């Protein structure tokens, strides 16, 4: 889906499809070099990371395994509470594995900080993070992101897996959602 298909719902396109793919290719070269000769397990966080996972995995010239987790922050509204509930756990035993968490976006960092601790408690050899987007101005905890795609302003974005009310995930680019879409009654809730 292109921005013209949702005419007026975005205030701007932040990152084009081409920019995303160029950056994912750069990140893939880095990952290939860092994990040369090692087995790698990509752990995607549902649902937002589906597009990043699909494109990153196919861009990698490196054998990988893939698994998925679904988590949800307790609490309501647009900010995550940091208290996380597992909705779907991994099928894979992490003992001795090199794990790379694949995320769409790091906002406050609270969800990922919890996930990192959780996965680290399962006996992996390493756990690192790959996130397409990061909002430095929204960070509430320091997280070491080994592979970060783009730093973006503290605005609510949709597209390339990111949703508002389950919509816009199939937009090929990433854009800023126009306030009229979620105002005046509601906040932007996402997963």
Rule CB under 6 A: choose which of 10, 20, 99, 106 binds ligand XMP: 106
Closest CA to 45 of 116, 97, 108, 143: 116
Decide whether 99 or 162 has the Cβ nearer to ligand XMP. 162
CA dist 139 and 178 (Å) reads 23
Decide whether 26 or 137 has the Cβ nearer to ligand XMP. 137
Provide the H-helix boundaries in the chain.
17-34, 50-59, 110-120, 179-182
**Within a 13 Å sphere around the CA of 58, how many CA atoms are in the beta-carbon half?**
6
Q: Which stretch binds ligand XMP (CB under 6 A): 3-11, 23-31, 87-95, 105-113?
A: 105-113
The verdict on whether 89 is a catalytic residue reads: no
What separation, in Å, do the N-terminal and C-terminal C-alpha atoms of the chain show? 20
Work out whether 105 is an interface residue with ligand XMP (CB under 6 A). yes
Decide whether 55 or 104 has the Cβ nearer to Mg ion. 104
Largest CA distance in the chain: 53
Smallest gap from residue 7 Cβ to Mg ion (A): 26
Work out whether 110 is an interface residue with ligand XMP (CB under 6 A). yes
Per annotation, catalytic residue among 89, 107, 137, 163: 107
Chain residues that interact with Mg ion, rule: CB under 5 A: 45, 48, 104
Decide whether 47 or 62 has the Cβ nearer to Mg ion. 47
- Interacting partner of 190 out of ligand XMP, Mg ion, none (Cβ under 5 to 8 A depending on kind): ligand XMP
Counting Cβ atoms within 10 Å, is residue 23 exposed (0-12), middle (13-18) or buried (19+)? middle
| Gyration radius from the chain CA atoms | 16
Positions marked active-site: 107
């Amino acid at each position: 889906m292109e921005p013209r298909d949702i005419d007026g719902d975005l205030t701007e396109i932040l990152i084009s499809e081409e920019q995303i793919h160029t950056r994912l290719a750069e990140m893939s070269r880095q990952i290939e070099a860092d994990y040369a000769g090692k087995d790698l397990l990509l752990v995607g966080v549902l649902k937002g990371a589906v597009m990043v996972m699909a494109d990153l995995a196919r861009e990698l010239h490196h054998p990988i395994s893939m698994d998925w987790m679904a988590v949800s922050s307790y609490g309501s509204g647009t900010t995550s509470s940091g208290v996380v509930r597992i909705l779907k756990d991994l099928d894979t035993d992490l003992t001795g594995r090199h794990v790379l968490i694949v995320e769409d976006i790091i906002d406050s960092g609270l969800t990922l900080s919890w996930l990192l601790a959780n996965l680290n408690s399962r006996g992996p050899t390493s756990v690192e993070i790959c996130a397409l987007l990061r909002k430095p101005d929204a960070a509430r905890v320091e997280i070491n992101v080994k592979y970060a795609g783009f730093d973006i302003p503290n605005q609510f974005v949709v597209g390339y897996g990111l949703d508002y009310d389950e919509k816009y995930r199939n937009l090929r680019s990433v854009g800023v959602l126009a306030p009229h879409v979620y105002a005046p009654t509601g906040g932007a809730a996402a997963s």
